[in-house]
């Protein structure tokens, strides 16, 4: 029986030269670090130094998360990756009624500059690279980070890191949106302009396919819909008066790595090739860095199982290997116990050690692009590229990414794929070790890490103290300035936003001020 890839393409038992379509031509393969970047964005890749090893962490209070970050740094992580709780992601303070029961649960609670100061206390922000998984309120968290760095005496020009800042995928697959698409895109363009002027080394957006993949997208859908979102962001910035080569080098992407190594490697190669061509041919980018698709990878959380969780160590290792062979710039490896609860200190350390074994004990860093010229890889790269380009054309035919989102196109395509995966798993056609085959009669006991529910009350008390201590008139005046800037279309909203945050306005207050002007997004299928 012929097997098929996750994107639905047939996988042949044997590949030979006749399976390839002129893959050796320079315009398709090229050299590492050269257009079309199929073989990687840098000439030396990992032979010079390995990828950046990040570990995604954040839970409970800023104090607890700060301790985890310091432990990760001591164990050799090269960059921090911050997880925020749902209230923070949705622009609500911890004492808001809607936040009840969610404070500190899936990430750290950040309500104001006071919390951000604690979160990065004792961590030299000019020495670490920080990635923040935050979207609708990305501007606020970036400004809080900058303010804390300034308090440490660090020039903004020395700050390096990334804000995810990809709100379009929230409408498609994740749901932590706040504002409607139009003002959200305006805010993103303002972030691009602000960072060019104020924080030039910062990656202003991490255009994300990861969450689409976690929702059920195939590899072809993942890169097609992600790159379509990327095109929308570039068009928005150009329409706002920016030159493409002024901001495109700071764009980055975020993808998943599944256990299907061969197709994942092909996916990453195809994504680089498509993006380079789009940036050159549609937008006329001339800076080679504008053509490079640089990306962070996270191993597939959706493939982790609560059954026999130690098997996840094998899954994560395979997934990490796929990301490395595919040429990722940075990597987060999931902890084996994440399908059950927050990772323990030990499981987070083991996840990091997995990357370190690959980097320092294996030979995958000894040569650039080990799979180049492989009959199967080059053929699968062509297949994924063709499937992704077809989906991207369908998005364009509907008027682009935003119009397609409003029509529900991407969401319905992903849901169809997710349903097919569920059917295959239920029938046993798709084998999941420990779930539908090779089960154990009785699972071994596991003691999960839990978040103290008292955190919610503690955060509420901190907020009450903050509001009592601060200059309320200064906060009110700053929020008024922010509303006026948001109501117009000339002023960059990040400057009055920074003033309000410095005056100790809370995340919820700033987002509420913008909600008053821009409104709140309600999806069409919510009625």
Please list the pLDDT of the chain residue by residue as tens digits (527 residues). 678 999 999 998 888 887 666 655 556 788 999 999 999 999 999 999 999 998 888 888 999 999 999 998 998 887 888 999 999 999 999 999 999 999 999 999 999 999 999 999 999 999 999 999 999 999 999 999 999 999 999 999 999 999 999 999 999 998 999 999 999 999 999 999 999 999 999 999 999 999 999 999 999 999 999 999 999 999 999 999 999 999 999 999 999 999 999 999 999 999 999 999 999 999 999 999 999 999 999 999 999 999 999 999 999 999 999 999 999 999 999 999 999 988 888 999 999 999 999 999 999 999 999 999 899 999 999 999 999 999 999 999 999 999 999 999 999 999 999 999 999 999 999 999 999 999 998 888 888 777 888 999 999 999 999 999 999 999 999 999 999 999 999 999 999 999 999 999 999 999 999 999 999 999 876 54
Structure-token match 């070790």, residue found: 433
Alpha carbons 301 and 277: distance in angstroms, whole number: 31
Delineate the domains of the chain, giving CATH numbers in brackets: 36-427 (3.20.20.240)
pLDDT for the residue 1: 61
Nearest Cα to 179, choosing from 81, 270, 90, 239? 90
Nearest Cα to 524, choosing from 361, 408, 357? 408
Alpha carbons 237 and 242: distance in angstroms, whole number: 6
Structure-token match 């925020």, residue found: 84
Residue 273 and residue 259 in contact, taking contact as beta carbons nearer than 8 Å: no
Structure-token match 């006026």, residue found: 484
The residues facing 342 across adjacent strands are 449
pLDDT for the residue 527: 44
pLDDT for the residue 226: 98
pTM: 0.93
Alpha carbons 387 and 8: distance in angstroms, whole number: 9
pLDDT for the residue 27: 65
* Cβ-based neighbours of 106, under 8 Å, separated by 6 or more: 59, 83, 85, 86
């Amino acid at each position: 029986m012929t097997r098929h890839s996750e994107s639905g393409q047939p996988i042949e038992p044997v590949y030979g030269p006749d399976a390839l379509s002129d893959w050796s031509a320079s315009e398709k393969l090229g050299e590492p670090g050269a257009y079309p970047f199929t073989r990687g964005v840098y000439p030396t890749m990992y032979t010079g130094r390995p990828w950046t090893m990040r570990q995604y962490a954040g839970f409970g209070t800023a104090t607890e998360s700060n301790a985890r970050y310091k432990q990760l740094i001591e164990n050799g992580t090269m960059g921090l990756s911050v997880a925020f709780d749902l209230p923070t992601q949705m622009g609500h303070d911890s004492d808001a009624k809607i936040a009840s029961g969610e404070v500190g649960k899936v990430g750290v609670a950040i309500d104001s500059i006071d919390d951000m100061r604690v979160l990065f206390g004792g961590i030299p922000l000019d020495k670490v690279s920080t990635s923040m998984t935050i979207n609708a309120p990305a501007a606020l968290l970036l400004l809080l980070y900058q303010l804390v760095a300034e308090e440490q005496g660090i020039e903004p020009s020395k700050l390096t890191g990334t804000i995810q800042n990809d709100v379009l995928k929230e409408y498609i697959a994740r749901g932590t949106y706040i504002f409607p698409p139009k003002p959200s895109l305006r805010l993103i363009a303002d972030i691009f302009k602000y960072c060019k002027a104020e924080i030039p080394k910062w990656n202003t957006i991490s255009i994300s396919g990861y969450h689409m993949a976690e929702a059920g997208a195939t590899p072809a859908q993942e890169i097609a819909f992600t790159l379509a979102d990327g095109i929308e962001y570039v068009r928005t910035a150009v329409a706002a008066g920016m030159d493409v080569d002024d901001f495109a080098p700071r764009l980055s992407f975020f993808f998943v790595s599944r256990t299907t190594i061969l197709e994942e490697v092909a996916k990453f190669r195809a994504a680089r090739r498509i993006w380079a061509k789009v940036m050159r041919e549609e937008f006329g980018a001339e800076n080679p860095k504008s053509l490079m698709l640089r990306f962070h990878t996270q191993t597939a959380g959706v493939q982790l199982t609560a059954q026999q969780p130690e098997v996840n160590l094998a899954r994560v290792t395979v997934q990490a290997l796929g990301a490395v062979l595919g040429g990722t710039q940075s990597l987060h490896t999931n902890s084996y116990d994440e399908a059950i609860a927050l990772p323990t200190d030990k499981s987070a350390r083991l996840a990091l050690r997995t990357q370190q074994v690959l980097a320092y004990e294996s030979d995958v860093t000894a040569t650039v692009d080990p799979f180049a010229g492989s009959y199967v890889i080059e053929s699968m790269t062509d297949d994924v590229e063709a499937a992704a380009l077809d989906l991207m054309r369908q998005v364009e035919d509907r008027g682009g990414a935003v119009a397609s989102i409003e029509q529900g196109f991407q969401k319905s395509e992903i849901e169809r794929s997710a349903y097919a995966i569920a059917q295959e798993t239920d029938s046993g056609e798709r084998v999941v070790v420990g779930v539908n085959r090779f089960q154990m009669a009785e699972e071994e006991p596991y003691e999960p890490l839990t978040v103290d529910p008292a955190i919610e009350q503690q955060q509420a008390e901190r907020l009450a103290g903050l509001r009592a201590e601060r200059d309320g008139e200064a906060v009110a005046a700053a929020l008024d300035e922010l509303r006026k800037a948001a109501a117009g279309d000339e002023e960059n909203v990040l400057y009055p936003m920074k003033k309000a945050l410095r005056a100790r306005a809370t995340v919820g207050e700033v987002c509420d001020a913008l909600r008053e002007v821009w409104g709140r997004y309600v999806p069409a299928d919510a009625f």
